[in-house]
Structure 1
Amino acid sequence: MKWVRRFLFALGLAVLSAIASAANLTIHQLECDDAVNPLGVDVLQPRLGWRLTAPEGVRGVRQTAYEIVIATTPERLSADNADLWATGKVASGKTVHIRYAGEPLQSSQQVWWKARVWDENDNASAWSDPATWTMGLLRAGDWGGQWITAAEASPVLLLRREITVGPGLERALLHVTGMGSYEASINGGKISDDLLGPGWTDFAKTMLYDTRDVTAQLTEGANVLGLTVADGMANVFRVEGRFAKFVGSFGEKRARAHLELRYADGRIETVVTDPAWQTHAGPQTFAGIYGGEDYDARLLPVGWDTPSYDATAWPAAVAIAGPGGELRGHSRNTEPVQRIEVREPVNLRELSDSVTLYDFGQNTSFIAHLTVSGPAGSVVKMTGGEIVNEDGTINRSTMGGAHRGSAWWSYTKATDEVETWFPQFYYLGSRYLYVERFAAAEGAALPVVERVTQDIVHSTAAPAGHFASSDETLNRIHELVRWAQRSNMVSLLTDCPHREKLGWLEQTHLNGPALRFEWDHDRLAAKIARDMADAQTEEGLIPNVAPEYVVFKGTYRRAAEWGAAFFAVPWQHYQFTGDDTLLRELYPQMRLYLAYLESKSVDGLLDEGLGDWYDYELGITKRANLTPGKITGSAFLYQNLSYMAQIARVLGHDDEAGRYFASAQSLRAAYLDAYFRPDSPEIIGTGTQTSKALPLAMGMLNLDQAAFVENSLVQQVEEMNYFQSGAAGIRYLLIALADAGRSDLIFKIATNPELPGYAYQLAQGATSLTESWPAFKGASQNHFFLGQIVEWMYRDLVGIWPSQPGFSETLLMPTPIEALTWAEASHDTVRGTITARWERHEGRLRYTVTIPPNTTAVLMLPAKDDTITEGGHPVQDAKGVEWHRRVGERVQLGLQSGSYVFESNL
């Protein structure tokens, strides 16, 4: 009996040990194609992944294997009946971008899946909670019906179809799109909160669609499916008095829908767009993505998308050819635009009996939301503006200029009752609303604005970062940039949300890391990269704008600094996610563009650039144009060649990698021969901050040259005491100064309110980053292309950077400058959240960091000597810490996953 008791006791300890060890890894947040439970996945092999967590205080936790089970029903999944795919136990630490390799998937099919993992002790985690995804329409032939429109054009088109739903409906799945913008409704209610769908593309090459589960919105018996379609970006036109950035058209607005009704008895019914639908003009008398939206509520067919409405007089829709683009769903799209928050005005200024200026205190992208009372036929007109004149009227100098027309919302009341209006097809970047009220007739009462709010709209991409420091000005600068970032995130990155709304490409890569630290940028970056591929010309050019809705002339179309995004965005995507899909998919087109650029080179150098756009010289009241395109264009060509050498190496094209590396070195030699004059006052290029920063940050100089140019640059910036570099150069200036150990200088200039720059803009009252360093009133007040200071906050000040793709290994290199007592940041990577914080106190540095499970880090810890502690004990005794070496004033340590508290002498 004693032996039995000992055996049972030992067995119990073993079981408890296994349970405790297994708990070291918890698997959660299952994702398919970078989304949780997505609808409309339209690739045959979606990519799967998950996040891991470990108990607090546990270090060095690793995944050594995984198992995925995928089934056609939740019941089969629960019973471990993997009738689609069962991987079995796969020895791998991979947690992201695992390609589905099971049974072929079908259009509109829903699948369920779960996963579990094994830790470093070969103990299994619990199974994850079940997840699901739904396929889109995988082949063009799977779409039923036709594109439809109306026989007579109108500003907004209403489309209606009555549907009878039988008993036993199990699931209703709607695949739907409209060109250029649409909304879908069922029985009088919108089917989603999305705005401005389906996303902006080159509609002749790619037409996005949405997939919706509408089961809960349908009832047994009579139903109505409604579509409201406006021109959006597909048809931009000019009307007297209304602003338009350009004129261009993909043709008449149109829509396509495919509704599948699946019943419990196995029946499948489809309802598709065809001439059986009915049409009517919408209540909008004007709807332009640039010019605004006018809504006459008297023209609304009330209840038009409900079963009780009598639509017998509505004419039939007509079939029309599609715009030409391949229909693509979730896997090509990005997060939708939705209403993010609602702001009330912070100040009202009564300008007359009928005019009021509303100040919302924040320049951002929004749609005005109006509640109004008063007589039928009375009108409220709302004109947005970033700045105002002394008399309270809107100053449009920052928004396209009054000479090019204005833009506004207007609402005409239908009844004498209180009415509410939320516009559908126009949004604006602005801070102010100039609200005018007009009576229905002379002598009649004016309408009364009961409430107007600034409903902020932008992409629903999730926030992915946090930054804060002991300096309030630096924190305000962070928010200044962040407001500009979020204001320009829709289905692409606009450079401003009022006059442009175009996808200018320089900001997508120059601000790429800054954006990625702040936002879950993966899907948006992938869409932008594919938009560039769609925009590529036959000769290989990547134009400055993608989608290329308007063809600009000269270097406004072919600037190398802008086209460099075609190499940098996919490479940054690989750095931050570890996903090489874009590299593989776009590599042939990258080669074509690089060949185009090299064909335009003369003696190895490229003069195909816009230069250092919006650089600044003290006392100059416009763009300074100090660093011309021949300097910047050749530098970015060198960077492109360097990226291509690395991309080719990742893809296994070693011979091509060698050729690209050799070409980069040849260009480097030509560049230095042409522009490096160490005995001249300019030293290199035109002697500007950007002329020096580009070759420094891009690695074009040898060690002696770099030291010489670096010293000159630092001295120049100290003497000027402001950032001269513009959009093309500021990222590289910040990198060069930080790499020179002068983050203190970056902080000093950034927080100086006396000279043009970030703090200066705050002092001028800016609430989002402006287009120019001095916040010129003729330039946009909501631009993020100078916002690379945010990258510096994360990468250099707090010190977080992916040293291996997808943060499988993180470089931690904090810079505790004397002007701050502390700084902290966190970033949600594809493998979990990294947090870091440093604090200075009486000559000591305290550094706290958390590294996600299944990853490692290299810490470059500032330390005057080797008396370093972790958790209050000598660092040499710390679990999970490996001493590497001393590098100057830093100690290099290798860290396993977990949380640490280091202290060192400064």
Structure 2
Amino acid sequence: MTELLISTMRTEGRILPLGLDATAPMLGWTFAPSPSHSLMQTAYRIRVAAREELLTDGKPDVWDSGRRESGCQTAIAYEGGALEPRRRYYWQVTVWDEDGNQAESPISWWETGLLRDGQWSGRWIGDASGGADGRPLPRFRRSFRIGKPVRQARAYISGLGHYELRLNGGKVGDHELDPGWTEYDKTVLYTTYDITDALAQGENVAAILLGNGFYNVTGGRYTKFKDSYGAPKCLADLVIEYADGTSETIGTDGAWRAAASPLAFSCIYGGEDYDAALEQEGWDRPGFVEGSAWREASEAEAPSGELVAQSAPALKVMERLSPVAVTEPKPGVFVVDLGRNFSGWPEIAVSGSKGATVKLIPAELLTDEGLANQKWSGSPYEWNYTLKGEGTEIWRPRFTYYGFRYVQVEGVGAALASDTDGQEARGLPILHRMEGQMIYPDVRTTGSFRCSDDRLNRIHEIINRAMLSNMKSVLTDCPHREKLGWLEQVHLMGPSLIFNYDVEALLMKVLADIADAQQPDGLIPTTAPEYVVFQKPWDVFRHAAAWGGASVLAAWELLQRYGNAGALQRHYDTMRRYVDYLTANADGHILRDGLGDWYDVGPNGPGFSQNTPVPLAETAIYYGLTVVMQSIAARLGLAEDADVYARLADSIKAAFNREFFDERTALYAEGSDAALAMPLAIGLAPDAHRDTLFARLVRNVEERGGRTTSGDVGHRYVLLALARGGRSDLIYRMTRSTDTPGYGYQIANGATTLTEAWDGPTVGKSQNHFMLGHLEEWLYTGLAGLDYRYRPESGRFAVTVKPSVVWDVRWAEVRQELRAGQASVRWELGEGRELKVAVEIPINADGAIHIPAAEFDSVAVEGDGARFVGREEGFAVYRTGSGSFTFTRRESP
């Protein structure tokens, strides 16, 4: 009996997805760990059926791939007949190992959405005045009856900018800020919910609340920009299938009733105001008697974007924070400290008289007086809650969020007080409780890092807190001031994200956003969706290659890390047109403008590149894109395109070195860290000068006492160049330093999330950016020493273990869930510099294990199938298949 055991099955990178619009969804599976060694999948068979029992009986009626001799187990496209809308499909896979043993997976499923616009029965409804000119936002209700048993029911809904769907008095699902942000004139997302259990016999009531989101930025307080695609509106179909085989659809139309909601103000940039005194008890439940405020809903003009099922993980309240302190810096003004920076909103419990208003002002920092400081994060932003005066009232915002640690509370007589404190509240409301609610996508945590150095652990934590804080339906730059999807982070921080979280489906959504944002001439702007269009003289903020290049590099990363070739196929035309755009705008194969190494360290403070010529950084990225495009074209069987990109890359490389490399001094430009590291890491540096260039890079950093001057773009390449050159010890020194600039400086000065600037805790700017978090990649691949790549030719993963034993670090460990299964490394120094390295390689993967060892050091191996293949630059190298292995190095006397 084979020991292959399938633990997880995915469709389009998700587990049991509800409501997919993919017509050829990608299927994949993951193996559970096994005590055996060198287990390989050699063949598979996928079967798909319309009913689960058909698979159980061995009679798939939708698709049978037949046995396929392949090690591939991820992102395999469905090849059956046309899928039907609103249909659940069950699937199962059988795999074989090298000995011919077979194993069968559990039965999994995916469910299709509406697949195309024409399947909608409902119509867009809205209220042209809702949310505008100070008017409250609208709400809608519809009463309907059910008189026979329900087999299943689904709700398909899109509400712009955001919505909350309610049934019989309760919220449907736990999503927040749905639907995800898009270029609404190109794509509008809808969500599918299972509402079977929310329905009852007799009268039922469906209700919808609307918020503005990015669809309708009205202003009124702080805004990054003010623009609108239209007034808030919604579209919904409630499809009820009865046990007798009949069905009924309740769609949005003129039969729905509309009224103003208690949501008096809602702006994605400015905050939210809610007047509970205007609530109508039971408005979303059966038996409610409508008054004169209710009227027929009006049909609204449909948005021009195509309706597409939302396939990225939904935003949810994923973490809850409790206050750690409360102060009263001014009489009657309280400041609640939630302990660390995050993005989301507070939930409050408050009591007081009807009509009293509690004001909440969030902030990342405090002024010298101890008050909320929004100088760097967008001001004014606030939440206002007006009480209805009925006992203890629970409230939190619905359709806007902020990045903050502190909440300034005004309009209360006591904060975080018990009921008995009311006698001293001077007739003002009492704030009894506050909870911070952090929102980010419901992504699985797939990696972990720890080591003996607590400062490194804390740096790992603040980088992750910043990544999660800026992980929404796009990857934002910051969770307050801008909330825009700046694209350089997508590829520069892509590996760091992937090492920690399962972001395959989210990255696929980002690539769709990029495709929508692409201009007719091929330009991909620096942000997607492109809500802010930078015009001259600020158009440099629109066309930087390290930003637009995410279209190519993120798609390539999806193949490298998840085995997802579908992204390359779906977006090849987008990538091709972008590289054509760069080529058309290059001057002798040199890109003359852009943002370059944004936010590097120099005398003028953070901002525009100061140390490295912008054309050098832009052209280096341009070259890297063409090299990757050559590989992508070859992977897709486009040999002619691959040849074109190979020749283009050669031409760019030659022009780059003519323009920027001084052979006499062996320097690029003035020899900044980024100017040296980018050619080394990207492959532009002449072979004959690589050692000299690397030595100069090391000297640069050492002469500054372990500091770098690199910024948003260049820093990743500095770390890559140093790590590949064997100087992880220098990276460690740079990282631990508490002098400006650096990660250690941020920790020493109280940062709880990674800041926008290297010295952010003291210089200001955003306190919650992840764009400089490139060290995370080194913690996994450099210090702990775990890296991996998908090999399309075999369909398997190649795992590399190459730990860096540096300075005072006594041990380090990482775990990573690959699409193949779990990989892990733990190394530890023992007595007499003994080094023990424990390694786990997943099933259907190969391992290349590099153990730090001098020529005469001995290495003992535990675990079957590890083959010594030689020595390489201070490492003893072994090849393995799957399994657990322990390598013990003892230094020679």
Take 1:36 and 1:570, find their aligned partners in 2: how far apart are those partners? 21
Shift of 1:342: 1.1
Matched, 1:414 2:394: no
Take 1:78 and 1:745, find their aligned partners in 2: how far apart are those partners? 58
Aligned equivalent of 1:153: 130
SS at match of 1:558: coil
Residue 684 of structure 1, aligned match among 668, 672, 682: 668
Aligned equivalent of 1:183: 164
Aligned equivalent of 2:526: 544
Count of aligned positions: 867
Take 2:126 and 2:406, find their aligned partners in 1: how far apart are those partners? 37
Take 2:33 and 2:789, find their aligned partners in 1: how far apart are those partners? 22
Shift of 1:617: 2.8
- Paired residues of 2:543 and 2:594 also in contact (CA < 8 A): yes
SS at match of 1:614: coil
- Paired residues of 1:577 and 1:807 also in contact (CA < 8 A): no
Residue 279 of structure 2, aligned match among 281, 285, 300: 300
Query: Deviation string for 1:197-217 (max 9, x for gaps)?
Result: 010011110111101110000
Take 1:623 and 1:598, find their aligned partners in 2: how far apart are those partners? 24
Deviates more, 1:451-460 or 1:807-816: 807-816
Which sections of structure 1, spanning at least 5 residues, go unmatched?
A: 1-20, 873-877
SS at match of 1:398: coil
Q: How do residues 577-656 of structure 1 correspond to structure 2 at under 5 angstroms?
A: 577-617=562-602, 620=605, 625-656=610-641
Aligned equivalent of 1:801: 787
SS at match of 1:245: coil
* Structure 1 residues 630 and 55, CA gap change in structure 2 (3 angstroms): closer
* Structure 1 residues 734 and 655, CA gap change in structure 2 (3 angstroms): same
Take 1:619 and 1:67, find their aligned partners in 2: how far apart are those partners? 61
- Which residue identity is paired with 1:339? V
Shift of 1:236: 1.0
Residue 835 of structure 1, aligned match among 824, 830, 850: 824
Aligned equivalent of 2:702: 718
Residue 843 of structure 2, aligned match among 843, 850, 853: 853
Take 1:905 and 1:346, find their aligned partners in 2: how far apart are those partners? 48
- Paired residues of 2:602 and 2:610 also in contact (CA < 8 A): no
Aligned equivalent of 1:11: none
* Structure 1 residues 76 and 540, CA gap change in structure 2 (3 angstroms): same
Matched, 1:428 2:412: no
Aligned equivalent of 1:826: 815
Deviates more, 1:189-198 or 1:104-113: 104-113
* Structure 1 residues 397 and 778, CA gap change in structure 2 (3 angstroms): farther
Q: How do residues 110-129 of structure 1 correspond to structure 2 at under 5 angstroms?
A: 110-125=88-103, 127-129=104-106
RMSD: 1.9
* Structure 1 residues 883 and 638, CA gap change in structure 2 (3 angstroms): same
Q: How do residues 719-798 of structure 1 correspond to structure 2 at under 5 angstroms?
A: 719-720=703-704, 721-775=706-760, 776-798=762-784
Matched, 1:559 2:559: no
Aligned equivalent of 1:458: 440
SS at match of 1:68: strand
Take 1:730 and 1:844, find their aligned partners in 2: how far apart are those partners? 33
* Structure 1 residues 839 and 589, CA gap change in structure 2 (3 angstroms): same
- Which residue identity is paired with 1:423? P
Query: Deviation string for 1:761-798 (max 9, x for gaps)?
Result: 11111110001111144311100000000001111122
- Which residue identity is paired with 1:485? M
Shift of 1:533: 0.7
Shift of 1:868: 4.5
Shift of 1:511: 0.6
Aligned equivalent of 2:143: 162
Query: Deviation string for 1:724-766 (max 9, x for gaps)?
Result: 1000100000001111111000001101112321010111111
Take 1:804 and 1:168, find their aligned partners in 2: how far apart are those partners? 49
- Which residue identity is paired with 2:572? Y
- Paired residues of 1:151 and 1:317 also in contact (CA < 8 A): no
Matched, 1:371 2:349: yes
Deviates more, 1:797-806 or 1:624-633: 797-806
Q: How do residues 357-506 of structure 1 correspond to structure 2 at under 5 angstroms?
A: 357-400=335-378, 405-437=379-411, 445-506=427-488
- Which residue identity is paired with 1:309? F
Take 1:423 and 1:210, find their aligned partners in 2: how far apart are those partners? 21
- Paired residues of 2:75 and 2:565 also in contact (CA < 8 A): no
Aligned equivalent of 2:678: 694
SS at match of 1:366: strand
Residue 82 of structure 2, aligned match among 104, 118, 122: 104
Take 1:273 and 1:430, find their aligned partners in 2: how far apart are those partners? 37
Matched, 1:844 2:834: yes
Residue 892 of structure 1, aligned match among 839, 864, 877: 877
Shift of 1:235: 1.0
Take 1:563 and 1:203, find their aligned partners in 2: how far apart are those partners? 20
Take 1:697 and 1:243, find their aligned partners in 2: how far apart are those partners? 41
The normalised TM-score by structure 1 is 0.93
Aligned equivalent of 2:419: none
Shift of 1:461: 1.1
Take 2:632 and 2:773, find their aligned partners in 1: how far apart are those partners? 27
Deviates more, 1:92-101 or 1:166-175: 92-101
Matched, 1:40 2:40: no
* Structure 1 residues 364 and 352, CA gap change in structure 2 (3 angstroms): same
Aligned equivalent of 1:3: none
- Which residue identity is paired with 1:299? L
Residue 228 of structure 1, aligned match among 205, 209, 224: 209
Take 1:686 and 1:526, find their aligned partners in 2: how far apart are those partners? 39
- Paired residues of 1:851 and 1:896 also in contact (CA < 8 A): yes
- Which residue identity is paired with 1:381? K
Take 2:651 and 2:609, find their aligned partners in 1: how far apart are those partners? 31
- Paired residues of 2:33 and 2:821 also in contact (CA < 8 A): no
Identity of aligned residues (%): 37
Deviates more, 1:350-359 or 1:638-647: 350-359
Take 2:429 and 2:800, find their aligned partners in 1: how far apart are those partners? 60
Take 2:309 and 2:444, find their aligned partners in 1: how far apart are those partners? 20
- Which residue identity is paired with 2:400? Y
- Which residue identity is paired with 2:868? W
Shift of 1:134: 1.1
Which sections of structure 2, spanning at least 5 residues, go unmatched?
A: 414-424
- Paired residues of 1:336 and 1:459 also in contact (CA < 8 A): yes
* Structure 1 residues 151 and 715, CA gap change in structure 2 (3 angstroms): closer
The normalised TM-score by structure 2 is 0.94
Matched, 1:512 2:512: no
Take 2:193 and 2:313, find their aligned partners in 1: how far apart are those partners? 14
Aligned equivalent of 2:420: none
SS at match of 2:411: strand
Query: Deviation string for 1:7-50 (max 9, x for gaps)?
Result: xxxxxxxxxxxxxx32x111121221111111111122211121
- Paired residues of 1:354 and 1:446 also in contact (CA < 8 A): no
Shift of 1:88: 4.1
Take 1:583 and 1:788, find their aligned partners in 2: how far apart are those partners? 25
Take 2:24 and 2:514, find their aligned partners in 1: how far apart are those partners? 23
Take 1:368 and 1:528, find their aligned partners in 2: how far apart are those partners? 28
Take 1:54 and 1:793, find their aligned partners in 2: how far apart are those partners? 24
Shift of 1:302: 2.1
Take 1:807 and 1:364, find their aligned partners in 2: how far apart are those partners? 38
Take 1:596 and 1:102, find their aligned partners in 2: how far apart are those partners? 37
Residue 139 of structure 1, aligned match among 108, 116, 119: 116
Aligned equivalent of 2:305: 325
* Structure 1 residues 171 and 312, CA gap change in structure 2 (3 angstroms): farther
Take 2:628 and 2:610, find their aligned partners in 1: how far apart are those partners? 27
Aligned equivalent of 1:6: none
* Structure 1 residues 620 and 106, CA gap change in structure 2 (3 angstroms): closer
Shift of 1:438: 5.6
Query: Deviation string for 1:96-142 (max 9, x for gaps)?
Result: 122223343211011223333222221122x3332222110012211
Take 1:817 and 1:618, find their aligned partners in 2: how far apart are those partners? 32
Deviates more, 1:856-865 or 1:257-266: 856-865
SS at match of 2:152: strand
